[in-house]
Chain A
């Protein structure tokens, strides 16, 4: 198992945010985390990434207790891919990816030839090598997201944590990014992504984890878990889930909302 979370609990002051969270993620697997705003998804990620050390329970990365892993090794155990965002300063795409190699460098050194090779390989993996000398701020949001994924790969970690990687992207870029994520999982990467798009979670993941109020309410394969009652429980909207193409695809739509004249079921 790449990642194992057992009895995880966390609270900000008196307010519990996570309670009794248990799940495991194996190599080559994509797990989508669904849940309404404030369900505790970001807090869960921060605990796994070692950004919030004050949790109860146990997080195991590659068979080792995460608390015992020093910061630099932690960077090679798990990588964080934020939403594409504008940093304070513009860097070239290559420099941005090179930052992922920082954990391998001494505090006083800059990336050298070996790191540049690793960064170019990572860009190649995502078919972004031609972008190396472009300005990060002048490429599209989808391309920026792929650059951030390449940075995580250059970081040399096989476990990738993605915080709503497709949230701000247009529909085409959402699909392109998720296809790359799928390809990475075929190469053995384990991916845990938060998403607000249940249809995508069904289409691209091996497992769905659903959270509500700091607890896991469902955990299983998309076919087991992705149902109208779960969507209603998570989001409080009466939902209709339709199956397409022999259940390879399922789509979730709101049930009682219609702006055109039609027969509601």
Chain B
């Protein structure tokens, strides 16, 4: 009997291994790039920010590491973590394995906000802010529309998400049509492809607060998401406040998605593929699935971003790479026979 009662140590070890991998990945990513920095120098430069360390490295390397690579590496991890966590959360509360972070229009809204800001020649921080605000507004609009929809609550929400998204995509298309083809149109197109190039510490600072505000509740409420996947009536009879819980989770998932998309542009596939990969590794229990999705998402986007900046002489937009990797991977996943969904 005692054996059956231990929670099972395997998920915990897997999570710990993921954490170690992520830490190693972060350290290695600091060193990898056009100007390679040895791990000893990476630790030295980072350590010098906290302790008194005699510089034994070129000053140029410190600039590269602190101003360019550090924000980019941090942002890749944060964005990956958020998209994956939001995807896992939406899949649970909508009882739909195909749900992804943009299901309620967060990405379409951010794209429209960014395109509009570029069209109006707003400075770069305002582009991010505009994307963030439009993203939140879009999901808010979707929610309002869905409360007026007849029939099933969840279905109404998903359908209005699709409709409002396509409306905003049309808006973005129109902006691209009237944008100046010399500078605005390429800027919009590049934003839509998603990229972490040019990430600054200010972006990290901007995104950190909404991301933390969303991720912490998602982590704390993760057991309850299991109960929600059984359906509203069943969850209520088990003592779970279904409506309240769903509002909180949609709010948190939207917050982190909007924050991620506004600093990175639209990066697809992470929020769909990574939760499923985590499901295959650790099962569907959100108790382990949520932290696994977060760690795995961070690790995945970090790796892909390394490829994006190092694979070719020119930068590859990360959104293109995630699609190149994500779509075939997902196909292999669904053709492997017995699904986990």
Contact = CB atoms under 8 A, between A and B. Distances in A.
Contact of A88 (B4, B233, B341): B341
A118 B239 CA distance: 17
Given A87-B229, A88-B229, A102-B223, A50 B236 contact: yes
B226 interface: yes
Interface string B302-341: 0000000000000000000000000000000000000011
A74 B240 CA distance: 10
Contacts of A102: 223-224, 227, 238-240
Contacts of A89: 91-92, 97, 229, 279, 284, 340-341
Interface string B263-285: 00000000000000001000111
Contacts of A133: 4
Interface string B85-119: 00000011001110000000000000000000000
Interface string A112-128: 01001100100000000
B239 A91 contact: no
B202 interface: no
Contacts of B231: 87
B283 A100 contact: no
25 contacts: A46-B233, A49-B233, A71-B239, A71-B241, A75-B237, A79-B237, A80-B233, A87-B231, A88-B91, A88-B97, A89-B92, A89-B340, A91-B285, A92-B285, A95-B285, A99-B226, A102-B238, A107-B220, A107-B245, A109-B223, A110-B223, A111-B223, A116-B5, A133-B4, A155-B239
Residue in A46, A89, A109, A120 with the greatest tally of chain B CB atoms within 10 Å: A89
B278 to A, nearest CB: 12
Interface residues of B, number: 35
- Number of contact residues on A: which range applies? 35 or more
A105 interface: yes
B225 to A, nearest CB: 10
B227 A108 contact: no
A150 B80 CA distance: 39
Given A50-B236, A71-B239, A75-B237, A90 B221 contact: no
A156 to B, nearest CB: 10
Contacts of B95: 87-88
Interface in B214-235: 220-224, 226-227, 229-231, 233-234
B284 A91 contact: yes
A91 B284 CA distance: 6
B178 interface: no
Contacts of B227: 99, 102
A219 B249 CA distance: 45
Nearest to B222: A110
Interchain residue pairs A-B with the least CB separation, the first 3: A103-B239, A75-B239, A88-B95
B58 interface: no
Nearest to A108: B220
Nearest to B226: A99
A49 B222 CA distance: 25
Interface of A: 46, 49-51, 71-76, 78-80, 82, 87-92, 94-95, 99-100, 102-103, 105, 107-111, 113, 116-117, 120, 129, 132-133, 155
B311 to A, nearest CB: 35
A82 B238 CA distance: 12
A202 B258 CA distance: 59
Given A90-B284, A102-B224, A49 B240 contact: no
A49 B237 CA distance: 7
